[in-house]
Structures are given as structure tokens and as C-alpha cells.
Homo-oligomer: A and B are copies of this chain.
Amino acid sequence: MKHKVIVIGASGTIGKELVKTLEAGGHEVIRVSRSSGDYQADIQDKQSLDSLFKAVGTFDAVANAAGDVAAGPLEQLTDENYAFALGNKLMGQINIVRTALPHVADKGSFVLISGVLTQEPILGGTIGTLVNGGIEGFVKAASHEMPRGIRINCVSPTVLAESVAIHPYFPGFIPVEVWKVAKAYERALFGIINGRIITV
């Protein structure tokens, strides 16, 4: 069965691979990025998300691969660092679900993103672990209250093989190839699971 899937963060490493994977499966993909793609939106800006979903109209699923946090040594983190991450990767993703929910089809599907820091803290990654814990909590709880048979899941990738520049911050971590992350999204998008955190 073919689906119409909105991919947010479509120009990033995960987003590009996910678009490729979905199109190879014959699905219709709507690409969303801050400054490219079929539609532009910024997950930090709830109004831009609301406009996006109204403009697309009808769709079966939303897969988000966008979300930034601030990083730095615990004692140097500022109010602005926390506020940025809470507004971006945390509330940005929650606002995707809130604004898309009235428009997504019955039995639709949401996939959000957390990451390996949930289980494995790294130096300077306190805000990352905090935000991932929050987003995973949201997914686990919200899954039980989604209306109309709609599902929500979360993909939690470890550091990407392709993200060579940040490998030094993840000593001893075995990177994952991005195609496997895209498969996890596909599994969450089109399977029956709900409220799950898929670590990959």
C-alpha cells in the first residue's frame, strides 16, 4: 500500500536517505526543510508548522528527522542553551504532532527522533540526554491517547557513520549507517507498533 508521507528535515543526512527509501518503496514524499524542499517550515516556529500541514491538506504520515540541541560542559550551559533545545528538538517535535494531528489520515503515523544520548551520556551532552528523555516520554504517553487509530513512534539512532566530524565526541561508539536508520523509520511508519522507541 502506498502512502503520502511528509518528511521534515528532508535535506539532512537522515532525511535525504529516508526520502530515497520511501520513494524506492513507491510512496509519495513531501519534502520539508527550513530553506529547501517542497515546503518550508521550521520546527521551532509552531505557526510555520500549522501553515505547512494546512497547505499539504491530507497525508498519511509525518516523519521528522529535524531537531537541534545545544551542547557544552554542564557548568557552562546558559539559560539560552536550555531554552533553545527545549524550543527546538523537544517542543518543536511535539508541536509537529499537535499541529498535524487534525489533518493526518485515520490510521496515520508519526515518527519522531531522539538519539543514543538517552541511554549513553557523553561529555557536554546533558541537554541532549534531557531532551531525548522528554521526547521519548511524550511518545510513550501520547501513543495511548492518539485518536482515530493514529500511531506514534520514535527512532533513536546512535552516531551516524556518515557524521565523521562528530565521531570524536563518541569514543567507542559503533556508528550506524544511515540506511539502517531509514529502515527503522520505515518500520515505524508502516508497521503496527505504537509508542515504541526503536534504537538503531
| Tier of interface size on chain A | 35 or more
Number of copies: 2
A101: Cβ under 8 A from any B Cβ: yes
A37: Cβ under 8 A from any B Cβ: no
A3: Cβ under 8 A from any B Cβ: no
Tell whether, in the assembled complex, residue B86 and residue A145 are in contact, meaning their CB atoms are under 8 Å apart.
Answer: no
Tell whether, in the assembled complex, residue B145 and residue A128 are in contact, meaning their CB atoms are under 8 Å apart.
Answer: no
The residues of B that contact A98 with a CB separation of less than 8 Å are 77
CA distance A134 to B134 in the complex (A): 4
A82: Cβ under 8 A from any B Cβ: yes
Of the candidates A101, A133, A138, the one having the most CB atoms from chain B within 10 angstroms of its own CB is: A133
Give the interface segment out of A16-24, A58-66, A118-126, A166-174: A118-126
Residues of A within 8 A of B (CB): 46, 73-75, 77, 79, 82, 86, 90-91, 94, 98, 101, 117-118, 121, 123, 125-126, 128-138, 140-142, 144-147
